[in-house]
Amino acid sequence: MNRTYTAKPSTIERKWHVVDATGVPIGRLAAAVAQVLRGKHKPTFTYNMDCGDFVIVVNADKAVWTGNNKPDELLYWHTGWPGGLRNISRGDMLETKPEKLIEKVVWGMLPKTKLGKATFKKLKVYSGSDHPHAAQNPVAMEVK
C-alpha cells in the first residue's frame, strides 16, 4: 500500500537561488519567489513543514509595474503612537526603498503563521547587483 510522503526536518535539503529582478513585473516576481520559499516546486513538499529554499533577489530597484497597477496608490502603516498613521505611494517606495516593497509583496503571498514567518526569513533582497551570499553557491533562477 502506498503512503503519503511526509518530510522530516532531517531530510529537508535547502538550496540557494538568485533572481535578477531587472525588467520583471513585481507581482510575477513575488509569485515565483513565494513558491520557491514555500518549497512548492519540490516533489517532497509538505504543508506543515518549512521545506523551501533560500532566495536572493538582486536589482530590486529595476523591477517594474505593469498592467493596471497604480503606482500612485498609497500604502498605509501605523507606528503605534498617537497620530502615527503614515503612508507612501507604491511608486515612491519603488524609488526610495525597493527592497521593502519586494518584501511586502512577497509577504502578502505567504501564510500569516509561524510557518510563514520562518519561510519569510529565507528571503534576501538587494537593490544592487551585489550580494554577500556568494559562498552559498546560489543557482540562477529565471522568472518568466
pTM, entire model: 0.91
Structure confidence by residue, pLDDT tens digits, 74-115 = 999 999 999 999 999 988 999 999 999 999 999 999 999 999
Does residue 29 sit within a domain? Answer: yes
The SS3 call for residue 69 is coil
For 9-33, the DSSP string reads: TTT----EEEEE-TT-BHHHHHHHH
Q: What is the CATH number of the domain that holds 23?
A: 3.90.1180.10
Does residue 58 sit within a domain? Answer: yes
Does residue 87 sit within a domain? Answer: no
Does residue 82 sit within a domain? Answer: no
Can you give the residue range of the structural domain that contains 46? 16-65+98-141
The per-residue pLDDT for 68 is 79
Total tally of structural domains belonging to the chain: 1
**pLDDT surpassing 80 at residue 1:** no
C-alpha span between 84 and 56 (Å, rounded): 32
